[in-house]
Amino acid sequence: MLYEGFRKIFWGFILVFVEIHLMVIDILPDPIGYYLIFSGIRLVNHYFGFTNKGKQVALGLVFLSLPTLFIQNQSVIQMSGSSIYLSLIGIINLVLAFYLFQLMVSIAKQREDDSLHQRTTTMFKIYMVTMFFVTFLEPFSINMTEGLKMWFIVFSAIFGLVINIFFLALLLKYSKLSDGPSDRSSYTAESEPAIGTHD
Amino acid sequence: MKERFLWAGVLIIVFSWIGNYAYFQSKQLDHPIFLDHFYEATLGEGTSFTFYYLTNKQDPAVVTHVQIDGVEIVNVLNDGHGIGVWQNSSEPSFVQEYRHHYLKSVTLELNEEFIPDNQTEPILTFETMDVFFNDQSSIHADVGTVKICREDRNLHVLDSQMSSSSNQHRREETLVTREAISIDEISIPFPEDLEGEVAVKVDFDQNRLKELEKVRDNGEIPAWFEENIEKEWNETTGLPIEEKELFPITLNENEWMQVGMYFNPDRTSYFEFGIHIKGKKSESGHTFDQTVPIIDHPYLGQQDIDEIIAEKVGGQ
């Protein structure tokens, strides 16, 4: 169950992060990605008896992200309706990631897996602080000179990409946890080094 | 991590948006701003001028037509940066890009049929233009001063020999007389507007200047000629044209004069005019008014742009 829930969340984020536009339509549609995330969180919530709010946020994003099917998420940052909309989606994504981290922290706690708990909380802080700065600085780009704006876009894209790869790797790790807290000792010994190569 | 940190972060991000958006809006121009141009041109086939203006980067303006004194005596040749290739592109064409604005140019061609035939010089002077943009808006723009004159080829008494200019807003020109003349005055046009913006020195030292004759026969350019333009303005040879005891001065046929020009490097206006040399032909007594052409455009940085906007928007 755990495996399936986090695998859905993982693939959901892949759909959200990767954009391939054929003609004008995104062939990896974000709403489907958010739906996968929603149903993944629902599974995990149900299994552990959690009430993680990420479920509602993901469901909201299923509908809110419908226009992204037709908007090219270019890094051309300028003042327009679509850029404000995309930033709004970005902020809600941050909220969604926050709840997912909370979900992962609760699971690690429940499994009494200290190393996983440690890794998740560290990643939680790094992710939120980095993404906060990237999202906070983004609107400054509309007032930047061309040269500075270019550097900003390049750096924020690299930071965003790297941090989200770490985030995906963590989701993948959770998706490979075996069900039930009983066999946690065997899991940590085996899978820790293997997962490490993903980072 | 506590949930209240999340909401505090989201709130800060929203404020960042509001703040940046408000700043961005405050920098937007209500309408394009034309810079100052001091242009003099002679009427001829295809006489054209390029005017420079500032427009918002967001939705930049494009000039569609221009009226002067309510008459369309100019055709818009192109709005943008010269070459036709740019016009078909969907990207806005601009001369220079600033934080919130583009510096754009529009080239206007004089429509000769609207110019009255028999008029005394200058045929046309204007300081404002009614400019119409592609978004149906229009402005009554101050553009500096533009003078259009009729050329008089018969009174060409000086031949330009050598000229050099530097990127330090300097220019040197040497001229040789075709016949004996007397020069009564050397003057800078637009005296009220250009006071302190242009300085001119003249030198009639025949002994020195005659060395330049060697250059005609593929000789070396004397070192002093090139050194002069590198010198500080007050150390260069020649006397300022304001020295009234200089004039009138008589030159025989085939005699030399050197004109040095210096433009205020901090100015923000565009120069395309001539230094006027006025006098009489010694033999016939006919008056002449010949010009030494100047083309000097300012380099404008972000700070210049901010100051121009503050001045032009504030002054209205």
Cβ contacts of B27 on chain A, cutoff 8 Å = 143
- Residue ranges of alpha helices (H) inside chain A are 2-17, 30-48, 54-64, 81-110, 114-137, 146-175, 184-196
Q: Chain B contact for A76, CB < 8 A?
A: no
The fraction of chain B above a pLDDT of 70, given in percent, is 90
Q: Is the pLDDT of residue B81 over 80?
A: no
B200 touches B275 (CB < 8 A): yes
- When pLDDT is averaged across residues B149-159 and rounded to a whole number, the result is 73
Cβ contacts of B56 on chain A, cutoff 8 Å = none
Minimum mean pLDDT range among B44-48, B60-64, B134-138: B44-48
What is the DSSP secondary structure assignment for residue B294, as one 8-state letter?
E
The rounded mean pLDDT for chain B is 83
Q: Is the pLDDT of residue B47 over 70?
A: yes
What is the DSSP secondary structure assignment for residue B22, as one 8-state letter?
H
Write the residue in A84, A98, A143 that is nearest to B23 by C-beta. Answer: A143
Cβ contact, residue pair B1, A94, below 8 Å: no
* Higher per-residue confidence, B63 vs A199: B63
Cβ contact, residue pair B1, A101, below 8 Å: yes
Q: Within 13 Å and on the Cβ side, how many CA atoms surround B3?
A: 8
Cβ contacts of A76 on chain B, cutoff 8 Å = none
Q: Is the pLDDT of residue B275 over 70?
A: yes
Choose from A88, A92, A98, A146 for mutation: most chain B CBs within 10 A. A98
Question: Which residue of chain B has the CA closest to A93?
Answer: B10
* Higher per-residue confidence, B77 vs A47: A47
Q: Is the pLDDT of residue B243 over 90?
A: no
Cβ contact, residue pair B6, A98, below 8 Å: yes
ipTM for this model: 0.81
Q: Is the pLDDT of residue B92 over 70?
A: no
Question: Smallest Cα–Cα separation from A179: which of A33, A10, A43?
Answer: A43
Q: Is the pLDDT of residue B244 over 80?
A: no
Choose from A94, A99, A138, A143 for mutation: most chain B CBs within 10 A. A143
Residue B141, min C-alpha distance to chain A (Å): 27
Highest mean pLDDT, choosing among B69-83, B157-171, B184-198: B184-198
Cβ contact, residue pair B99, A143, below 8 Å: yes
Strands (E), chain B: 33-34, 37-42, 48-56, 63-67, 74-79, 96-97, 101-110, 124-133, 138-149, 158-166, 170-177, 181-187, 198-203, 239-240, 249-251, 256-263, 270-281, 287-296
Which residues of chain A carry a pLDDT beneath 50? 75-77, 182-199
Cβ contacts of A137 on chain B, cutoff 8 Å = 16
Cβ contact, residue pair B20, A91, below 8 Å: no
* Higher per-residue confidence, B243 vs B307: B307
Highest mean pLDDT, choosing among B3-12, B77-86, B243-252, B284-293: B3-12
